[in-house]
Amino acid sequence: MTSTITEGVDTSFDRYARMVRRALGVPVALVSLVEAERQVFVGAEGLPSPVDVVRETPLSHSFCQWVVKDEAPVVTSDARLDERLHSNLAIPELGVVAYAGWPVTDHTGAVIGSLCAIDDQPREWTDGDLATLEDLAAACSTELAQRGLRDQAATGARHAEELSHRSRVLLALSEALSSTYTLGEVATAVQQVSLTHLGCLRAGIWLTDGPDATTLRFLPPTGAEEWESAAINAALALDRTNPLGDALLANEPILFATAEQQNAIYTQLDLRAQVGRSRAFWPLAARGRAFGAMALIWDDERVLSADERTTIGALSSYAAQAIQRALLVQEQLDALITLQSALLPGLPDVGHLELAARYRPAAARDQVGGDWYDAVVMPSGATNLMIGDVVGHDIAAAATMGQMRNMLRAIAWSVDDAPSQNVTRLDQALVDLEVDGMASLVYARIEPTAEGADGPHQLRWTSAGHPPPVVVDPEGTARFLDEGAADLMVGVDPSSARTDRRTDIEAGSTLLLYTDGLVERRTEHLDGGLARLLTAIERHHDQPVGAFLDRVLTDLIDARLDDDVAVLAVRFAAPS
């Protein structure tokens, strides 16, 4: 089966192969599109030479052809023992032994290839492996479908000048929706395209609450002017008492040339803020799943032509696929953020110290951060505090964060040594254990003086390229602990010299460690963010330590956070 996607060598799906390779821990992962006489790898990670250059093989070396022929997954723990696969030349020439391939489809729903994981050793694929592969194949299929529809629209524009306007509309729909990752972005794109290219007065989406839903709920576009009638009818029953529910249950569009025609049928609608004349209600469904319905309102009386119906049908198809992708991305990232939050530890109970910490993920749904904090109390009574930020905002960064945090925690517990020495041990361990990643961090160590908890506490710390800690005294005067330049980040050069710094902390003071997302803004110099931090700390220093962190975060974090943030605060007991 041939697809226009495979003309030439397209490598833009490599990220799906990378995600499969990392998630399943396999040496090779592919997005393979099967043609009449060859398979083309539009996504690949770990291919041997020279296949990694030519990015294709004949079907004599293809397991993926059987995924297309079967229109179903093909899974084998050892292809050498498989009756259908044992003679495939991919086994002796490419080292394929274990194989798990999941179908990927184009915009027509046809199976055109496979997203597959390959191992050069026998392997029993777990249910979790296959579920991950299925989810990623669904996301890959959605992107393939959108590209197919985009190419289809572009071809129509080239070949039919008389349809140029409609072709431009289809292209606009594709471009607007292909870059959406959240439900709000999908609603905004549908509204903008409908108003700009379809001449609508209003446009909106109502979504179900899930597969067994009984209600449709309005999805407000991001940053758009309020649609009063939609707000009034924001929750509608998923039944035939309203046109949106009716269109979804019938799985076909419902059209009215005038508002009066609609109102005569659906008498239970709240019409207090009704606008416009003609209206169309289109179901939103993809891959056999219904997501909701779309309402389009025009300010004049009109009967839609066949060409207009085709265009709106394409809009509904694009929107449904974008909704499916947004839900999948949201589900996966929610799981990752939950996992990341689970990796963050509980804080120990230290009699003369009150500890509190907070973590806030970035607003962007396509980012998973590598920020972490930790606290370890030693048998000697010393308290070790750690906060760090792994470079990157993806699954790999979150995984590296978990490794670094656990390694440093183990080092801190097992070696009761100066902060600089333990950070050096972490740096060397990253090399010895082949953990690929860089991070900034602060490692601090608190020990009570001979006077006990009522006296000043000695703080020793080292900074590996991290923003400086802040101390605020009981009177509310805050200062950065930024004596000297910070040392090199970890993960760069394990032989780099590291320095311990010391200071005494007055009883009743508060120490704050934080990651750069708290103070860095794209539109502001770092000095401005640091100044705002000092102001917020001094404003709220007298609050209980947990409330202190919450209020500082409220003061500094924008409505749309660009980066994730971790903060760790220590309140030193006031004199008894």
pLDDT in tens, 283-297: 998 888 889 999 999
End-to-end CA distance of the chain: 80
Q: Which CATH number fits domain 160-331: 3.40.50.2300, 1.10.3290.10, 3.30.565.10, 3.30.450.40?
A: 3.30.450.40
Helix/strand/coil (H/E/C) assignment for every residue in 5-69: HHCCCCCCCHHHHHHHHHHHCCCEEEEEEECCCEEEEEEEECCCCCHHHHCEEEHHHCCHHHHHH
Tally Cβ neighbours within 10 Å of residue 340: 24
What angle do the packed helices 306-343 and 127-159 form, to 10 degrees? Answer: 150
Give me 361's structure tokens.
Answer: 């993920």
Q: Show the tokens assigned to 498.
A: 């590291």
Alpha-carbon span 103 to 108, nearest angstrom: 14
Angle, to 10 degrees, between the axis of helix 526-540 and the axis of helix 545-556?
A: 140
What is the per-residue pLDDT for 2? 38
Number of H helices, E strands in the chain: 15, 22
Contact 157, 175 (CB under 8 A): no
Summarize pLDDT for 341-362 with one digit per residue, the tens: 666 677 888 878 999 999 887 7
pLDDT tens for 59-93 read: 999 999 999 999 999 999 999 999 999 999 999 99
170: pLDDT strictly greater than 80 = no
* CA–CA gap between residue 66 and residue 116 (Å, rounded): 12
What are the domain boundaries of the chain? 4-141, 160-331, 344-572
Mean pLDDT of the chain: 86
Which amino acid, residue 10?
D
Please name the fold of domain 4-141: Beta-Lactamase (3.30.450)
Do the first three CATH levels of 4-141 and 160-331 match, i.e. the same topology? yes
Please report the pLDDT score of residue 364 as a whole number: 53
What integer pLDDT is reported at residue 1 of this predicted model?
A: 37
| 185 — pLDDT class (breaks 50, 70, 90) | confident
Domain 344-572: CATH class, spelled out: alpha beta
Q: What is the pLDDT of residues 485-544, one digit of tens each?
A: 789 999 999 999 999 999 999 989 999 999 988 988 777 788 888 999 999 999 999 999
Three-state DSSP at 571 gives strand
DSSP-derived 3-state class of residue 426: helix
